Structure 1
Amino acid sequence: MEREIGTGEAINGGTWGTLAVGAPFMADGAPEATIDKSEALRTAIEALRRNLSWLANNLGSIEHSVETECSGLTLRLHYPSFRQRKPMMAELIDAVSLHVINFCLPRHQVNELQTLYGQLPADEFMKRHELLRQEAYDLFKRAHRATNRNGEAGELILYLLTEWLLDAPQIIAKMGLKTNRDMAVHGADGVHVRFCSDTGRLFVYWGEAKLYKDIGGAITAAVESIAESLTDEKLKHEITLVKRYLNLSDMSEGARGALLEMLDPFGPGYANRHDIVTCLIAFDFDAYDAVLGASEDAEELFRARALARLDEVAPRIATALKGKSLAHQPVELFLIPVPSVDRMRELFQDKIGWTSAPAAASGPKVSNVERN
């Protein structure tokens, strides 16, 4: 099975080139206009790629050779990094929370602040950055309440993993759309793109994130969501949102046009658009407690147990996908066993200032003075 991992790795007979999006790029005999558009978009999107390799300090990766009967499925196994035999859950949440601005807010809004760096007094710039961060936190909370969620970090972690490991930047910030009551946008948690210059294919990544105590329930819920997200009706709606709210306002006209051509069902490059699902499943894993008192290296022992767990659940994931006729659908599945999804959720809620809806007051509060 060919995997879509790093730049330069083989996929479907081609290799990943530098990130560019547009009409098919043919090395020989390509129309000059097509080459110009592809080059314009390649340059524009390359500027969006960020170095997120620092995430490896907080989120460990486990290499494996586990395969399934689903040719399109790529299994990825991660976990909170260890320090002194314990997983660094709080540090992981602290790290990913730093990127809530980029995840939630339109790119032009972030860029406007970045252009002021060095032009404003340090105190003024820090104040504006803090205001932007609070705006992102507030937007995140409003969007989750509007979609009946409870302030989970899963979609933010998936956003970072997709940019880090798949080199696919986000092209639409959906948080602002989810707070619009007149707009039905309860679809993908994130939308990212990547382009293979050798094959001329545009890969659009549609994100789903699930945090469940039980991995069995998570698999069922995730596959249900994946199947629903890939229906013609859902994809058509998502593509409409992307075209309308494309989060690349600083792109040149040629670059933007090249991307839109591949999203237009009547465009010359539309057949080269390939849909890939990215899915994050975080679940409770009791091996953390088991390795804490072991005499061996706790992290290495944990990694061995996590691999055994992956080997156990992989066939169940494949069975669920086949049950929805998704055996050949490309799916990048990130599995993250954690000590407690409830604790993970609580840490992130504390970070963004999440509180439950306040209960209705029974009457005016009486001061201590009035009681005396």
Structure 2
Amino acid sequence: MNTLDELLLKKSLAGTYDDLPPRIKVHTYTHKHLDKTIKSKFFYIEFKGHTPNVTDLVKFLIHKLVQYCIPKRERLDALAYGNATGDSRLINELHEKAKKLFITAKLQQKRSGEPAEVLLFTLLEGYLQAPQVVAKMYLKTDPQMPTYGADGIHVMLTEDQRVGMIWGEAKLYQNLNAAIPQAVQSLHQIIKERQSGDCRDVDLVRDHNTIQNENLRSAVIDIFNPYSDAGKNMVDIYASFVGFDYQKLVDCKSEDDRQNFFNEYTDLIKTACESFQNCIKEQGLQEIEFIFLLLPFDSVKNFREAFFKEIGLENVQ
């Protein structure tokens, strides 16, 4: 890809993300001892006073549901109708449709329809400038459409100008130490399916991708054409988003506590990165490229409950 393609990627994002940094901040830290195959980014929820503003984050993610769930063509049609007629009915209906898709997916598949998936989508698009390739949530409610595999499929431009196909997995855990081995194991299953030569996610990219720009869509599809050389410039990248409980956020009662959180979080990141790298080596995945994303919560349970309540689901396990 060249510079023009970078512009295409930016134009293919689901929307603008100027409203993301006020909600989810980047914790600036570079782990110098990570293998070059592992890219990492660490976040925290913006504080309100001395506690993370989870309420605002939940409302923000609910507004992102339309971009996450609904293909861009359908969204553009609704916007065009609204601009031409002054009638916002179709736009409002998309919000309800997105919520319904999410609810239906959750009720049909216990492990699906999770707020972690929306967070993964938002962080990949907003901070990595990697547009979504397939709106999997749009397909999950179709019983004839198997959508197992990665939680998210995105595309990005790597530092060495290759096309990076991102296959992402997103989970919320109460315990980070237990989370990392499970997260790597989940990625390993996706990797094995991708390398098997019979990958359902690749079929979705070919047949159900939602990229609006014709040039970019053709370029992505061509990557998986066995008779094309385009795949030689592609690399598979496996992204792991882990949200987790962190006691230091619960203990945050003052400005000193908040500063202590940042210091302790940096130390935690070092340990988490080493654990992630060790798990990759134990699974024999050293040659694979990864993206490791972390976001701590004062309570994952409370965050999930608030999210599901906002979309109209109560008592979700």
Aligned ranges for residues 138-287 of structure 1 at < 5 Å? 138-149=100-111, 151-195=113-157, 201-231=162-192, 232-233=195-196, 236-248=199-211, 250-252=212-214, 255-287=216-248
- Whole-angstrom CA distance in 1 between matches of 2:314 and 2:139: 22
SS at match of 2:44: strand
Structure 2 counterpart of 1:48, which letter? S
SS at match of 1:194: strand
Change (3 A) 1:321 1:268: same
2:22 paired residue among 57, 66, 69: 57
User: How much has 1:286 moved relative to structure 2?
Assistant: 0.3
1:341 paired residue among 300, 311, 314: 300
Q: TM-score, normalised on structure 2? A: 0.90
SS at match of 1:66: coil
Instruction: Tell me which residue corresponds to 2:85.
Output: 120
Change (3 A) 1:53 1:262: same
The answer to whether the 8 Å contact 2:26/2:44 transfers is yes
1:309 paired residue among 268, 290, 304: 268
User: How much has 1:66 moved relative to structure 2?
Assistant: 2.1
SS at match of 1:168: coil
Structure 1 counterpart of 2:203, which letter? T
The answer to whether the 8 Å contact 2:9/2:130 transfers is no
Give structure 1 stretches of 5+ with no counterpart: 1-15, 21-41, 358-372
Q: Deviations over 1:291-322 (max 9, x none)?
A: 31x4x444322111111211222222111111
The answer to whether the 8 Å contact 1:263/1:273 transfers is no
Structure 1 counterpart of 2:284, which letter? S
- Whole-angstrom CA distance in 2 between matches of 1:137 and 1:96: 11
- Whole-angstrom CA distance in 2 between matches of 1:19 and 1:321: 35
SS at match of 2:236: strand
Structure 1 counterpart of 2:12, which letter? L
The answer to whether the 8 Å contact 2:165/2:234 transfers is yes
The answer to whether the 8 Å contact 1:261/1:267 transfers is yes
The answer to whether the 8 Å contact 2:240/2:291 transfers is yes
- Whole-angstrom CA distance in 2 between matches of 1:221 and 1:264: 33
Structure 2 counterpart of 1:141, which letter? I
Change (3 A) 1:83 1:131: same
The answer to whether the 8 Å contact 1:171/1:193 transfers is yes
- Whole-angstrom CA distance in 2 between matches of 1:281 and 1:52: 21
1:134 paired residue among 93, 96, 112: 96
Q: Deviations over 1:5-57 (max 9, x none)?
A: xxxxxxxxxxx85462xxxxxxxxxxxxxxxxxxxxx6654422343132110
Give structure 2 stretches of 5+ with no counterpart: none
User: How much has 1:199 moved relative to structure 2?
Assistant: 5.5
Structure 2 counterpart of 1:64, which letter? Y
Q: TM-score, normalised on structure 1? A: 0.78
Greater per-residue helix proportion: 2
2:53 paired residue among 77, 88, 113: 88
Instruction: Tell me which residue corresponds to 1:78.
Output: 43
The answer to whether the 8 Å contact 1:282/1:338 transfers is yes
2:12 paired residue among 40, 45, 48: 48
SS at match of 1:135: helix
- Whole-angstrom CA distance in 2 between matches of 1:95 and 1:234: 38
- Whole-angstrom CA distance in 1 between matches of 2:19 and 2:161: 31
User: How much has 1:217 moved relative to structure 2?
Assistant: 2.3
1:327 corresponds to 2:286: yes
- Whole-angstrom CA distance in 2 between matches of 1:169 and 1:18: 16
Q: Deviations over 1:198-236 (max 9, x none)?
A: 965211111110101011221122111111111223773
- Whole-angstrom CA distance in 1 between matches of 2:289 and 2:7: 27
Report how many aligned residue pairs link the two structures. 313
User: How much has 1:290 moved relative to structure 2?
Assistant: 2.4
The answer to whether the 8 Å contact 1:18/1:195 transfers is no
- Structure having the higher Rg: 1
SS at match of 1:148: coil
- Whole-angstrom CA distance in 2 between matches of 1:331 and 1:215: 18
Change (3 A) 1:199 1:288: closer
Larger displacement relative to structure 2 (258-267 or 224-233): 258-267
